[in-house]
Copies of this chain bind each other. A is one copy, B any other.
């Protein structure tokens, strides 16, 4: 499997704090994990490169494109967005991560604006597995938790997914369709919400409101 990871690669360059966490960019960390866990052949592309590193040649040699962007969605060239759309319709997979719900390729392939509720409160998230027997969920437990997460909540303005794989619960009272797939042409679009690493499940919890 040939994977290409697109990363905006702006935060890591512009912020010392982010640079300290991802000295070589978040794409390098993602790529290392994908190589190690899935044995994929991973390449990289970033916003400031010519054609954002997503030339026709690169796209033609990609089975699955991961996309992460946050602050510069509007700087992605429409010609590249159309190239990505055509590739998905032709059979490529596109995995939109976290804030890439607002990326141009995701919006273009779904047809909606993908708006959602949002809150930065470093709150607990619990992700529930709705389809344990789906190939994408191999090895995923009934649920897992993230201790300090940015909240993304419903209503998530997307078409009904073809497969709804995970639902999130947030400490502050929100829920979210955090892992879902949509068939488009011969390819598939996947959305995956979380931004941090899972922590072991806790067993007790108390709330007051």
Contacts and interface: CB of A to CB of B under 8 A. Distances in A.
B89 A157 contact: yes
Contact of A113 (B111, B142, B185): B185
Contacts of A170: 169
A209 B154 contact: no
Contacts of A57: none
A75 to B, nearest CB: 19
B173 A205 contact: yes
Interface residues of A, number: 50
B183 A173 contact: no
Of the candidates A108, A111, A207, the one having the most CB atoms from chain B within 10 angstroms of its own CB is: A111
A91 interface: yes
A111 B174 CA distance: 28
A89 B108 contact: no
Interface of A: 85, 89, 91, 108-113, 123-124, 126, 128-133, 142, 153-155, 157, 159-160, 162-164, 167-175, 182-187, 202, 204-209
